[in-house]
Amino acid sequence: MPGTIASFQGVTKRYGPIVAVDHLNLDIREGEFVTLLGPSGCGKSTTLRMLGGFELPQEGRILLAGKDVTHLPPNRRDVNMVFQDYALFPHMSVRDNVAFGPQLKGRTKDEARARVDELLAFLQLSDFGDRRPDQLSGGQRQRVALARALAPDPKLLLLDEPLGALDAKLRGQVQIELKSIQERTGKTFLLVTHDQEEALTMSDRIIVMNGGRIEQEGTPEDLYHRPRSRFVADFIGETNLLTCDVQRDGAAGPRISWNGTPILVEAPQADAIADRSRVDVTLRPESIRLTAERPDAANALRTRIVRRTFKGARLDVDLEVEGGQAAASHIKASTDPALLQGNVGDAVWASFDPKRVAILQA
Ligand code: ADP
């Protein structure tokens, strides 16, 4: 198990009456790609900036490689930051921009040049060394910013929405590139983003923040398939949030039903609902199978197609569930376009695996 490289211990940051970060406890391990994810204003950037030394917390301690750095200025911490606007020097060449870091750290000119050549080659920028930043594409500028941040060989790289300025298609490419650079350098990356897809694509571990606190943390798979709160279920990916009734059933334990239809759930937290009368569950649209005939499945709902939205690789289908005690209710399914014959108004069976239903605790 790799060691802890950075720790937040009971860290609180207030701006006047606003609590930006609220008693944060977080350990980051060496070589990890960790992402702080959450909506605007949840405290992600403040957390990153405190680790970089740009903000001072009112409470708690920040450790880097076991050393208390809470009160150290940025240039005395072994971390470097990549900003959204890249903060490149516009009048300087790519080479001089990248050389800025090593020179600062007191290397000789020859050492700095060798390090710059190595980084430009590593980031496929060797042909662009003499250009100025405004003579580069967005993706190339992003790589220059990364090369500059990596130049002094910091232990930890902090990235504040580093892909924010790129268009959607390029973002996708650069996400994969950035993850591969992190893997090849073995460096620890701490990234801030509000983009859940970006977080899922790149991270070893995602920290979901809400109101200055950690809402949930885990691997991308954990958070996607086992969200613990409505907030996380809703923030990461699309989902169906169903409020269910809980019935006691003697020795068989609690059973849940949605809209009068029993729902079979196989989840580790199923026992935790024993004392409740209602519980929220989440079911991802792509976990729902649509068939014309009644399927041989533990959970099957008879529905009617309300809307079909073609998305290229998939088809999003809005369904109205028939029967039940309450008024008709809606669920969303997402399927391979080739698998759905039905049109709007047609009846269709929606079935799902009990393992695909996650019980929310909050
Ligand atoms: P995020 O990065 O998740 O969007 P921030 O960390 O930037 O969130 O901000 C958290 C909260 O702190 C927000 O309510 C924001 O308005 C506030 N905040 C951040 N920086 C400052 C500042 N320099 N002065 C006053 N309030 C700030």
Query: Do 26 and 76 reside in the same domain of the chain?
Result: yes
Which protein residue has the closest C-alpha to ligand 1 atom 15? 41
Query: Do 288 and 153 reside in the same domain of the chain?
Result: no
1: pLDDT confidence band, cut at 50, 70 and 90?
A: low
Closest atom of ligand 1 to 49 CA is: 6
Q: Nearest-5° angle of CA 140, CA 143, CA 149?
A: 145
Helix (H) or strand (E) holding 169: helix 168-185
Query: Do 32 and 53 reside in the same domain of the chain?
Result: yes
How close is the Cα of 20 to the center of ligand 1, in Å? 6
Query: Do 13 and 162 reside in the same domain of the chain?
Result: yes
Residues in the chain: 362
Predicted local confidence at residue 251, as pLDDT? 67
Residue 12 lies in a domain: yes
Query: Do 310 and 285 reside in the same domain of the chain?
Result: yes
Tally of domains in the chain: 2
How close is the Cα of 47 to the center of ligand 1, in Å? 10
How close is the Cα of 43 to the center of ligand 1, in Å? 6
322: pLDDT confidence band, cut at 50, 70 and 90?
A: confident
Chain mean position to CA 74:
26
Rounded Cα distance, 178 and 180, in Å: 5
CATH code for the domain of 152: 3.40.50.300
Closest atom of ligand 1 to 39 CA is: 3
328: pLDDT confidence band, cut at 50, 70 and 90?
A: low
Query: Do 143 and 286 reside in the same domain of the chain?
Result: no
Pairing of strands 315-321, 299-310: antiparallel
Predicted local confidence at residue 341, as pLDDT? 81
Closest atom of ligand 1 to 209 CA is: 3
How close is the Cα of 6 to the center of ligand 1, in Å? 22
Residue 38 lies in a domain: yes
Query: Do 13 and 156 reside in the same domain of the chain?
Result: yes
Query: Do 132 and 196 reside in the same domain of the chain?
Result: yes
Highest mean pLDDT among 42-56, 84-98, 149-163: 42-56
Predicted local confidence at residue 325, as pLDDT? 55
Which of 173, 200, 226 is the C-terminal boundary of a domain?
226
Rounded Cα distance, 219 and 42, in Å: 20
- List all residues whose CB is within 6 A of at least one atom of ligand 1: 15, 18, 20, 38, 40-46
Which of 203, 226, 249 is the C-terminal boundary of a domain?
226
Query: Do 178 and 249 reside in the same domain of the chain?
Result: no
For residue 19 the two structure tokens come to: 């609590």
Q: What is the DSSP string of 12-80?
A: EEEETTEEEEEEEEEEEETT-EEEEE-STTSSHHHHHHHHHTSS--SEEEEEETTEE-TT--GGGSSEE
Highest mean pLDDT among 27-36, 98-107, 152-161: 27-36
Q: What is the DSSP string of 226-253?
A: S--SHHHHHHSS--EEEEEEEE--GGG-
Residue 231 lies in a domain: no
Per-residue pLDDT averaged across 170-188, rounded? 88
How close is the Cα of 61 to the center of ligand 1, in Å? 19
Q: Is the pLDDT of residue 29 over 70?
A: yes
Whether 97 contacts 86, CB under 8 Å: no
Predicted local confidence at residue 35, as pLDDT? 98
Query: Do 160 and 47 reside in the same domain of the chain?
Result: yes
- Whole domain around residue 250: which residue ranges? 238-360
How close is the Cα of 152 to the center of ligand 1, in Å? 29
Query: Do 315 and 246 reside in the same domain of the chain?
Result: yes
Q: Which residue has the higher pLDDT, 325 or 81?
A: 81
Q: Is the pLDDT of residue 327 over 60?
A: no
Give the helix ranges, DSSP H, for 39-167.
44-52, 94-104, 109-122, 138-150
pLDDT tens digits, 100-119: 876 666 778 888 888 889 88
CATH code for the domain of 299: 2.40.50.140
Query: Do 203 and 246 reside in the same domain of the chain?
Result: no
Residue 233 lies in a domain: no
For residue 136 the two structure tokens come to: 């580069």
Closest atom of ligand 1 to 43 CA is: 6
How close is the Cα of 176 to the center of ligand 1, in Å? 29
Q: Is the pLDDT of residue 225 over 60?
A: yes
Q: Is the pLDDT of residue 47 over 70?
A: yes
Q: Is the pLDDT of residue 187 over 90?
A: yes
Which of 197, 226, 255 is the C-terminal boundary of a domain?
226
Residue to mutate, 15, 22, 191, 213, ligand 1, most ligand atoms under 8 Å from C-beta:
15
Residue 232 lies in a domain: no
The b-or-e profile of 222-241 (16+ CB within 10 A means b, else e) is ebbbbbbbbbbbebbbebbe
Q: Which residue has the higher pLDDT, 260 or 102?
A: 260
How close is the Cα of 232 to the center of ligand 1, in Å? 21
Residue to mutate, 8, 11, 18, ligand 1, most ligand atoms under 8 Å from C-beta:
18
